[in-house]
């Protein structure tokens, strides 16, 4: 359902209440939903805790998170991957917990481990590694590397929440061989937006987007060129709660997508055009899922991906992967 104020005078809060009531009265089924606008729920894939997802050149779904890396086919079956046991026993890393994944133009999957190692998962399923940095003392505190983006030349842009191995916390660019190019320290974002970087994305136009949040205060999406120069920020609509920005993604055409919440309490995906303005909105819906209860779609997304058929794959924190099929338009 598309929630909006219209000529009949129904407010968003009333429509949201009606959606909750209709969902509560519906049969308990994975398919019963007020799905995000323009989509319908196609299926639900039960998985362990996920940190990121991607659609590979082979059309398979790749999931990173608890248990390692899984390759999932169209029927939701795990047909391959790299388990934590395999990665650790092979000596690739001593502890395997992937934080982010990305494919390059050579169809190699790059897996960012939380210790800063990038594991390259080749099409023939062989492995190689790039050691970005060693967490050292930070390893005893928790994950240091939390997000990654890649540009067309294979450079890595990695978000770290601790200063490690002489590299400041913030966003750092590394060459394909793992050499440090530059760092945008956390203080950069304090000066620009008064917050902390929490997610990354690179647009098709070759700009680095950094989601900056600050608990209880307005966040923003800062834009930099690939040399680290500040270029401005995305123009967020006035009806978006600036302290409720969750994550950044890109779609198949390389447009940046912001996961946020509106002032009406609706979770939303904002797709931005090259001029940094909103080109499309996907509003969330509600459903009841068996054994779970009421579900808010698009809330606190950990991963988002799109396949060649226009299906949208979304995973929320501590939830399964939901596949949304586009509704037919006439």
pTM: 0.82
Asked: is 12-326 a CATH 2.120.10.30 domain? The reply is yes
Radius of gyration of the chain (CA): 20
Q: What is the pLDDT of residue 291?
A: 59
Q: Which pLDDT score is estimated for 215?
A: 66
- Tokens 């990695």 correspond to what residue? 158
Which pLDDT value is given to residue 289? 58
Please write down the long-range contacts of 205-209, taking CB distance under 8 Å and 24 or more positions apart: 205/254, 205/274, 206/151, 206/152, 207/231, 208/149, 208/157, 208/171, 209/234, 209/248, 209/256
Could you tell me how many helices (H) and strands (E) the chain has, helices first? 3, 26
Please give the average pLDDT of every successive group of 10 residues along the chain, which has 330 residues: 29 35 32 67 88 95 93 93 90 87 94 89 89 51 76 93 74 92 82 74 94 78 94 90 88 93 88 92 73 70 93 87 79
Distance in angstroms (rounded) separating the CA atoms of residues 60 and 67: 18
């Amino acid at each position: 359902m598309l929630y909006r104020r219209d000529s009949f005078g129904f407010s968003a809060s009333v429509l949201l209440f009606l959606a909750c009531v209709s969902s509560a009265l519906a049969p308990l089924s994975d398919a019963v939903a007020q799905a995000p606008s323009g989509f319908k729920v196609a299926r639900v894939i039960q998985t362990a805790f996920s940190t990121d997802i991607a659609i590979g050149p082979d059309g398979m779904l790749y999931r990173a998170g608890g248990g390692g890396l899984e390759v999932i086919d169209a029927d939701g079956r795990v047909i391959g991957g790299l388990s934590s046991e395999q990665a650790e026993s092979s000596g690739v890393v001593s502890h395997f917990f992937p934080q982010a994944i990305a494919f390059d133009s050579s169809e190699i999957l790059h897996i960012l481990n939380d210790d800063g190692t990038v594991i390259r998962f080749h099409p023939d399923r062989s492995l190689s590694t790039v050691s970005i940095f060693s967490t050292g003392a930070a390893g005893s505190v928790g994950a240091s590397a939390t997000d990654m983006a890649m540009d067309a030349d294979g450079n890595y842009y990695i978000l770290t929440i601790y200063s490690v191995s002489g590299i400041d916390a913030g966003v750092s660019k590394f060459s394909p061989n793992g050499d440090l190019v530059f760092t945008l320290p956390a203080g950069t974002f304090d000066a620009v937006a008064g917050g902390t970087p929490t997610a990354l994305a690179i647009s098709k136009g070759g700009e680095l987007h950094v989601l900056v949040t600050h608990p209880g205060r307005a966040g923003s999406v800062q834009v930099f060129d690939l040399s680290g120069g500040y270029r401005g920020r995305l123009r967020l609509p006035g009806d978006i709660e600036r302290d409720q920005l969750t994550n950044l993604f890109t779609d198949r055409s390389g447009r940046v997508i912001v996961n946020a919440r509106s002032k009406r309490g609706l979770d939303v995906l904002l797709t931005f055009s090259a001029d940094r303005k909103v080109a499309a909105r996907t509003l969330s819906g509600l459903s009841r899922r068996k054994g779970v209860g009421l579900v808010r779609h698009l809330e606190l997304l950990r991963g988002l991906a799109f396949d060649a058929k226009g299906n949208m794959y979304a995973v929320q924190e501590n939830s399964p992967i939901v596949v949304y099929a586009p509704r037919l338009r006439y």
